Amino acid sequence: MAASAACVSSGVDKGAAWMVAFRTGDTTKFALLLNEYRGPIVAYLYRMIRDHAVAEELAQEVFLRVYRARNYEPAANFRSWLVRIATNLARNWMRDHRADLSVLRLDDPPERLRWKAPRSPVPNAEERMVSACQLLEVRAAIDALPERHRDAVLMHKYLDMDYWEIARAQNCSVSAVKSMLFRAYENLRKRLAHLDPARKELLAFGMNSKSYREA
């Protein structure tokens, strides 16, 4: 309790404070870490892997490593450290299963073709098929990005991480993150320019090309 309070008072985020308290013997804090971060990490891994079972397995390995992190030093942002572990595990898995992954993405089961239907009018079967195909094109475009660019987009969009957090997770400078995101989103806009719904989805990412050049 004292270690956790000391970290919070020194400006360290709650995840880091919980981790410090856990490392000093407060085992209840590990349950808090799991409850707070496991869901977002599984979702992030699924966005990278496109396989729920593998995402669950990798998330389990992420938190096993957290549990075993004997030499953990409190950082200003625990989530960046956690996402870096998850990203490295996912990258290694994808390199080891590159052939299997290509088959998986070419033959996605229907449950992965989730789309948000408008309330009115109700789309017909043809419209649903078009929506599913467009979603696949968006995912394929993201998957085709350079590895670090793709991961930065996923962190930014799906984990709502800011530049500084992404920089720590990617072990690079904030300016490098801004450059990666600018190039990645420009790449996606060009590749998906023929899809109006996809372009709207990309704009919903909160992207403004000008902001990356100015910041």
pLDDT on residue 130: 55
Note whether residue 23 is domain-resident. Answer: yes
Predicted TM-score (pTM) of this structure: 0.70
* Residue 143 and residue 68 share a domain: no
Q: Whose CA is closest to 159, among 52, 64, 78, 94?
A: 78
What residue numbers bound the domain in which 189 lies? 125-215
CATH number, domain containing residue 150? 1.10.10.10
* Residue 152 and residue 62 share a domain: no
Mean pLDDT of the chain: 77
* Residue 1 and residue 100 share a domain: yes
Task: List helix spans (H) across 114-208.
Answer: 125-143, 147-158, 163-170, 174-191, 196-203
* Residue 87 and residue 5 share a domain: yes
Question: CA–CA separation, 137 vs 108, rounded Å?
Answer: 12
Note whether residue 116 is domain-resident. Answer: no
- Counted domains in the chain: 2
Q: Name 75's Cβ contacts closer than 8 Å, sequence gap at least 6.
A: 12, 16, 81, 168
Question: CA–CA separation, 151 vs 177, rounded Å?
Answer: 11
**pLDDT tens-place string over residues 92-150:** 999 887 755 555 554 454 444 333 333 444 555 555 555 667 777 888 888 899 999 99
**pLDDT tens-place string over residues 146-159:** 999 999 999 998 89
CA 1 to chain centre: 31
Domain boundary among 56, 79, 107: 107
* Residue 97 and residue 169 share a domain: no
